[in-house]
Structure 1
Amino acid sequence: MTDWMPGNRFHLLENGEEFFPRVFECIAQAEREVLIETFILFEDKVGLRLHEVLVAAARRGVQVDLTIDGWGSPNLSDEFLGSLTAAGVRVHVFDPGPRSLRLRVFKILRRMHRKIVVIDGKLAFVGGINYSADHLADYGPEAKQDYSVEIHGPIVAAIHRFTHTALVQGLRHQRRRRWWRWRKHLRVEPDQLPHAGDAQAMFVVRDNVEHKDDIERHYRTVIRSARRRVVIANAYFFPGYRLVRELRLAARRGVQVQLILQGQPDMAIVKTAASTLYHHLLKAGVRVFEYCDRPLHGKVALVDDEWSTVGSSNLDPLSLALNLEANVFIRDRAFNAELDARLQRLVRDSCREIERETLGKVRGLDLVRSYIAFHVMRKFANWAEWLPRHAPLLKTQLDVRLATAAAKDHPLDEVAQ
């Protein structure tokens, strides 16, 4: 884990209605550089608006790098991507490759799931919101409930440095030295950014090499130190055994532990997996609420009156043991209070509490299922180590277009134009 960094300010952004206008406004004001990482980019009204502001930024001389996940953003048209690259946007695709199941089956399990924006090395956004219309309320019953944060202060330099490093590590070896040479003038150090507020912050990532359990470990540490309350709102909840144990121990020592989980999930298996833990959690005194208005996509939490987190990491096996994730951890009473007010509004207006009495006794196949699920959860992180790991690879969109043209026997010089 890194050290806490003082002097930061955070602004909570709830759902696409707050997030998209602010991000697009900041991109429109960028002077030097825009860096974006996202799992999902769809060619809908949100994706088209992002496309518009990125093209405009690139055309006025801003250096723009957009990294998307090849699995999460699979259906972008040639026209959409081609007009980005024609304007000067560098589009990077995480782990592109053949679509055959035989070649991609293990790649599906390890995805670039981060959602990060850094503008001019001075302003950042981190959270769980993708660039798709299903993060807007007018999408309908399937619109997602989610969160991000706007960040000012020295911690932005750490996020900026990380995002650059991820690009360098993902590019082909022969490009790396050239990349650092022409990007050197854009580097920002923490002491170059003025203090913007009173919040201490830590930027924590999960990868498959050096930081395999950093996010989960920080969760466990802060839950272990909780004295009054723990509130977790998480879309996909099926954490490791040790994290569940810390939640149960906290509840047993008198801490008020609230879990806000999906009641109207976007995938049925999500609720099935989480519900296998309900008896185990409720018995210890943990209170479980299901959000029922629409699918919950958030990944936020708070502990006592100061600590909070917002990010891309779910508390499930994919996020905790396989995917590439990024969270910010925050020590700030004002932000903690704001996040708590938003979450308690969900509990009050849109959730139903799960009661032990309504669950009934666990018998027969349900007992077997619960037993298997619990012990799979205990061992999953160890088993994940045996799954094939690939070094993160980024291809620029021009590389992808050249490869596609070669496969179709198109002249390469036509595509390069």
Structure 2
Amino acid sequence: MSALGRPASAAAPWRAGNSARLLENGEAYFPAAFAAIDAAAREILLETFIWFEDEVGWELHRRLLEAAQRGVRVEVLVDGYGSPGFTPQFLQPLLEAGVRLRVFDHRPRRFGVRLHVFRRMHRKLLVVDGRRAFIGGINYAADHLAHYGPGAKQDYAVELEGPIVADVHSFVECALATHGIGHPWRPQPKIEVPQAGDARIMFLPRDNDHRSTSIEHEYRRAIRAARRELMLANAYFFPGYGFLRDLRQAARRGVRVTLIVQGEPDTPIALTAARVLYAHLLDAGISVHEYCERPFHGKVAYVDDEWCTVGSSNLDPLSLSLNLEANIFIHDRAFVDDLRTRLQALIRQHCRAVDRASVPRQRFWQPLTRPLLFHCLRRFPDWASRLPAPPPRTALMHPPEAPGPEKS
């Protein structure tokens, strides 16, 4: 067995006997997720960072409402920052039908602004009847559809069947039942899920307790084990020194290392931060490409022919140090080949290559100031999170006539 096939830790086992289907953008993801919801017979567990009251959000609303009305248990967790609030006409029918809706870090706003913006619940997970799961970076919002316009996001998710679904199911059950940053989840499935394919898969969350570096460590382990080819495609790329060192060392030992970042960012600072690193990366022989068709929102990577990841975690300080995230890691040649084909097509058709000549030459003071700037940008979210604030909790929403919200 290769190094890429070994478990990252005893707390994150690889499960054999799974099937995984790559879903690109809302055009592929929403029909698959909605069909699974429509077919639910017993249970729907859903976590999402964003649920907007737009065409996609209302479609999800309709399907969850119908599921609850036919007796399906429906549990939903949204983030209080990403999903800033729901109108009564949106919220009340769900609650009256029995949908249990929780809001992570439900805080009052000051002048319409949430002041404490760190430690978000950034996961995107859906589990239906304990038999099918979805994970990735796609929120329930219309800006994941191409007809939204120039601001439509490019992104990815995975549909899963097989024993790995039991891990995702047990995690979401635990997250919904508890309130916090480090809920005591262990990958000990309470349900049995039959085998569905040949893929070996690991489900790995990140929290601010015992798994605070779990996703970053799995990335770095795979990078260090790379032999021929490594591609990272990530919306917000600003990792730490150790991660960058592993990338540079991989390139210097002959691995073909390619990076795709946003060229038309939804958040301009994301591109500014990534460009600070360009000279450092290019000098080591790393190929950098900016995706320029529309905002790139993906969080995917592959190594050689045998390892890849899709999930919610960016490679920036918020995702690697603060946000609650979840990624799937897949050991399956057919899936890796599918992801490789799609990313290489993206580079050919919609990316701009960054060369050394296009990177501004350093001023004489920059070798001294850039490390300081990098350190401040990299550590700022962690410093800000240390400001006095109550720990994040979830609020269980109630119909307007009932007392609430109840802390859970």
Q: TM-score, normalised by structure 2?
A: 0.90
Q: Is the 8 A contact 1:231 1:257 kept in 2?
A: yes
1:271–1:60 CA distance, 2 compared to 1 (3 A)? same
TM-fit CA distance, 1:269: 0.6
Contact kept? 1:241, 1:374, Cα under 8 Å:
no
Amino acid at match of 1:129: I
Larger relative helix fraction: 1
Report sequence identity in percent: 53
**TM-fit CA distance, 1:395:** 1.2
| From 167, 174, 177, the counterpart of 1:158 | 167
The residue type equivalent to 1:294 in the other structure is: R
> What is the correspondence of 1:300-339 to structure 2 with a 5 Å cutoff?
300-339=300-339
Bigger shift: 114-123 or 372-381?
A: 372-381
SS in 2 for 1:126: strand
SS in 1 for 2:94: helix
> What one-letter code is carried by the residue in structure 1 that aligns with 2:85?
N
Structure 2's unaligned 5+ residue stretches are: 1-8
Counterpart CA distance in 1 for 2:228 and 2:341 is 16
What's the offset of the Cα at 1:383? 4.6
Hey, what does 1:142 align to over in structure 2? 151
- The alpha-carbon deviation at position 373 of structure 1 amounts to 3.0
Pairwise CA distance, 1:250: 0.4
- 1:209 counterpart residue number: 209
* TM-score with structure 1 setting the length: 0.88
Supply the distance in 1 between the matched residues of 2:143 and 2:251 (Cα, whole angstroms).
Answer: 35
RMSD across aligned positions (CA): 2.4
- 1:164-243 equivalence runs, <5 A: 164-170=173-179, 189=190, 192-243=192-243
Which residue identity lines up with residue 217 of structure 1 in the other structure?
H
Q: 2:14 matched to 1:8?
A: no
Q: Return the alpha-carbon distance in structure 1 between the equivalents of residues 367 and 401 of structure 2.
A: 52
Query: 1:390 Cα shift?
Result: 5.0
State the match for 2:98 in structure 1: 88
The verdict on how the C-alpha distance between 1:120 and 1:349 changes in structure 2, with shifts beyond 3 A counting, is same
Give a deviation string over 1:199-250, Cα, whole Å, max 9, x none: 1111111111111000001111110110011101000010111111100110
Residue 117 (1) aligns with residue 101 (2): no
- After superposition, what is the alpha-carbon deviation per residue over 1:333-360, rounded to whole angstroms, capped at 9, x for unaligned? 0000000000000000000110001213
Contact 1:238 1:315 in 2 (8 A): yes
Report the Cα offset of residue 87 of structure 1.
1.3
SS state of the match for residue 150, structure 1?
A: strand
* Equivalent in the alignment of 1:289: 289
CA positional deviation for 1:362: 1.4
Cα drift, residue 384 of structure 1:
7.0
State the 1:188 CA deviation. 5.8
Aligned length: 389
Q: Residues 188 and 367 from structure 1, CA distance in 2 versus in 1: closer, same or farther, beyond 3 angstroms?
A: closer
Higher deviation after alignment, 339-348 or 162-171: 162-171
Would the alpha carbon gap of residues 400 and 198 (structure 1) be closer, same or farther in structure 2, given more than 3 Å must change?
farther
> What's the offset of the Cα at 1:156?
0.4
**In 1, Cα distance between the equivalents of 2:31 and 2:232?**
27
Change in Cα spacing, 1:381 to 1:71, as seen in structure 2 (3 Å) is closer
Q: Which residue of 1 aligns with 2:77?
A: 67
Alignment match, 1:280: 280
Q: 2:30 aligns with which of 9, 12, 20?
A: 20
Q: 1:400 to 1:256 in 2, by over 3 A?
A: farther
Contact 1:277–1:370 under 8 Å retained in 2:
no
Change (3 A) 1:67 1:260: same
Unaligned runs of 5+ in 1: 177-186, 406-417
